[in-house]
């Protein structure tokens, strides 16, 4: 257990924020698989202030998700603070997270995301303005630096702490690396040693054993898991269980996987309506099938589906095919 401000987090496993993925349907599913904290996909401060309909829908939180964290991004103090105030006063999020790691050019051009990594003073100014304006605890998610020649992770982390943030999470890659190469856990360790607020380590935690290794080697308060949880909420459950007991749970069988994929689909339909949900679920369904032998035909067929019934039929047929193969 650890605390972010006055928010108690039951265990040391956190779902990473992922744009286009971490909506209420996926977050709730991952929460039910035991995550101590789930993080929402990033939300643009300006889109929120313009009351963009799609953005406002992204603020929906299911009460079973808490504690959860909502992430905002922006490049200007005024709009970032106003967006933070909106989240503070109008949502049931427990934590307000500021994105300081997004590497995408579109975001960098708006002086947002990873752009701040080059300017510790801006970090202080922006984070302290948000902290002063809201009641909920504020956290920051960042990368190690801009590129290998501009790694200010420790300096930036100290500024985040000085500005009054209640925790920070650190993805061990630079902006330039995007998602390539390895996450640098040494820098994560240095940051953990440099500040007193909780630090959540992130990057390349792909097995429960690696989660333990990161905790042991870096001393971080929690691990954050992103890509490995895609179509695989069992990664969260197996990690929580391994950290608590040292026992490695088996991977789920195909029937179990498809059962959860359909639950996920139904939750997405509730959230976004059938048409949008099925389109969005195509990528998730494909992730749920990842690693299962003979999935090629089903993955192709999933991309042709337009309704719940069509998608469920493909998924259920796939389970049957796998079972038939096992029986023969």
Q: Catalytic positions, please?
A: 102
In terms of C-beta distances under 8 Å and separation of at least 24 residues, what long-range contacts does 269-275 make, across chains too? 269/308, 270/25, 271/23, 271/24, 271/25, 271/57, 271/60, 272/23, 272/57, 274/307, 274/308, 275/306
d(CA 54, CA 52): 6
The answer to the question of residue 144 lying near ligand FMN (CB under 6 A) is no
Q: Token digits for 168? A: 């920070």
Q: Which of 12, 17, 72, 165 binds ligand FMN (CB under 6 A)?
A: 17
Q: Which of residues 64-83 bind ligand FMN (CB under 6 A)?
A: 71
Q: Token digits for 19? A: 């744009």
- Closest distance of CB 242 from ligand FMN, Å: 16
Rg (C-alpha) for the chain, rounded Å, is 20
Q: Quick one: 67 exposed, middle or buried, by C-beta within 10 A (0-12, 13-18, 19+)?
A: middle
Task: Let me know: does 11 contact 214? Beta carbons within 8 Å.
Answer: no
d(CA 86, CA 56): 11
Give the list of residues 6+ apart from residue 255 with CB closer than 8 angstroms, or none.
319, 323
The answer to the question of residue 19 lying near ligand FMN (CB under 6 A) is yes
Q: Which of 13, 24, 42, 277 binds ligand FMN (CB under 6 A)?
A: 42
The answer to the question of residue 280 lying near ligand FMN (CB under 6 A) is no
- Closest distance of CB 24 from ligand FMN, Å: 15
Which region among 16-24, 187-195, 282-290, 295-303 touches ligand FMN (by CB under 6 A)? 16-24
CB of 75 or CB of 101, closer to ligand FMN? 101
Which region among 48-56, 97-105, 131-139, 301-309 touches ligand FMN (by CB under 6 A)? 97-105
The answer to the question of residue 218 lying near ligand FMN (CB under 6 A) is no
The answer to the question of residue 210 lying near ligand FMN (CB under 6 A) is no
CB of 89 or CB of 206, closer to ligand FMN? 206
CB of 120 or CB of 226, closer to ligand FMN? 226
Q: Which of 45, 65, 184, 204 binds ligand FMN (CB under 6 A)?
A: 204
The answer to the question of residue 227 lying near ligand FMN (CB under 6 A) is yes
Element (H, E) at 201: strand 199-202
Determine the longest span between alpha carbons in the chain, in angstroms: 66
Q: Which of 27, 171, 175, 267 binds ligand FMN (CB under 6 A)?
A: 171
| Residue 143, helix vs strand vs coil | strand
DSSP structural state of residue 228: G
The answer to the question of residue 99 lying near ligand FMN (CB under 6 A) is yes
The answer to the question of residue 284 lying near ligand FMN (CB under 6 A) is no
Find the residue with minimal CB distance to ligand FMN. 226
DSSP structural state of residue 118: G
Q: What's the gap between Cα 177 and its chain centre?
A: 19
Interface residue list for ligand FMN (CB under 6 A): 16-21, 41-42, 71, 99, 101-102, 141, 171, 202-205, 225-228
């Amino acid at each position: 257990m650890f605390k972010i401000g006055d928010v108690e987090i039951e265990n040391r496993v956190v779902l990473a924020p992922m744009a286009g993925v971490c909506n209420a349907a996926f977050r709730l599913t991952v929460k039910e698989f035991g995550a101590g904290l789930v993080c929402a996909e990033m939300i643009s401060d300006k889109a929120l202030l313009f009351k963009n309909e799609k953005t406002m829908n992204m603020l929906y939180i299911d009460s079973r998700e808490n504690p959860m964290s909502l992430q905002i991004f922006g490049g200007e103090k005024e709009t970032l603070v106003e967006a933070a105030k909106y989240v503070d006063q109008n949502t049931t999020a427990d934590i307000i997270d500021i994105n300081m790691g997004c590497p995408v050019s579109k975001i960098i051009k708006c002086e947002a995301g990873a752009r701040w990594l080059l300017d510790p003073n801006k970090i202080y100014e922006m984070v302290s303005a948000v902290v002063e304006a809201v009641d909920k605890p504020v956290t920051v998610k960042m990368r190690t630096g801009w590129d290998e020649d501009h790694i200010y992770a420790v300096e930036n982390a100290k500024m985040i702490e000085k500005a009054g943030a209640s925790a920070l999470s650190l993805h061990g890659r630079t902006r330039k690396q995007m998602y390539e190469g390895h996450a640098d856990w040494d820098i994560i360790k240095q940051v953990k040693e440099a500040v007193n607020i909780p630090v959540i380590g992130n990057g390349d935690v792909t097995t429960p054993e690696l989660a333990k290794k990161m905790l042991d080697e870096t001393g971080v308060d929690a691990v954050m898991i992103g890509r490995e949880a895609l179509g695989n909420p069992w990664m969260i459950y197996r990690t929580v269980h391994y950290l608590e007991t040292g026992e490695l749970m088996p991977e789920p069988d195909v029937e179990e996987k498809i059962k959860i994929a359909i639950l996920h689909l139904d939750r997405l339909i509730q959230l976004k309506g059938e048409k949008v949900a099925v389109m969005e679920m195509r990528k998730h369904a494909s992730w749920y099938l990842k690693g299962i032998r003979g999935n090629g035909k089903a993955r192709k067929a999933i991309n042709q589906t337009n309704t719940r019934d069509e998608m469920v039929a493909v998924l259920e047929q796939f389970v049957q095919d796998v079972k038939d193969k096992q029986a023969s």
